Homo-oligomer: A and B are copies of this chain.
Amino acid sequence: MIEEKLESLGILLPTPPKPAGSYIPVVRTGNLVFVSGQIPMKDGQVQFKGQVPTTISVEDAQKAARLCIINVLAQLKVELGTLDKISRIVRVSGFVNSSSEFYEQPKIINTASDLLFEIFGERAKHSRIAVGVASLPLNSAVEIDLIAETT
């Protein structure tokens, strides 16, 4: 049970943030679910803002990536009822608010990937992109979206 795994990791899924725009958090088509880009929002506030490494550190951006994934999972739980319906994480896209001299986007998005492995084990084995972008909504340090396969 994924929910028990989350509990054992001390992760409490929040009420997920509302979309910052005219769209919805999750769309299902066939047995794929597309999760909208999640930012490091908690209690209605972006917790990790800025550009790596000029105005936010790598360590804090890693925490941002972790929070993005927790929001992804919170959105999926609301949509699916239980995360046990997820048979595979298919794709993770990680966008890091980066200076043009910062080249360690994988180090930041790894925090997201690692958390998925901790939670989902083999089912977490995903493909991924990681890129550095000029800016992100609400000055978020990281934005992550995900495609999963459901049973």
Contacts and interface: CB of A to CB of B under 8 A. Distances in A.
Given A22-B114, A22-B117, A113-B21, A137 B27 contact: no
Bin chain A's interface residue count: 35 or more
Contacts of A23: 92, 113, 125-128
Give this chain's copy count: 3
A77 interface: no
Contact of A34 (B25, B26, B127, B143): B127
A98 B30 CA distance: 35
Interface of A: 19-27, 29-32, 34-37, 51, 88, 90-93, 95, 97-107, 109-110, 113-114, 117, 125-139, 143, 145, 147, 149
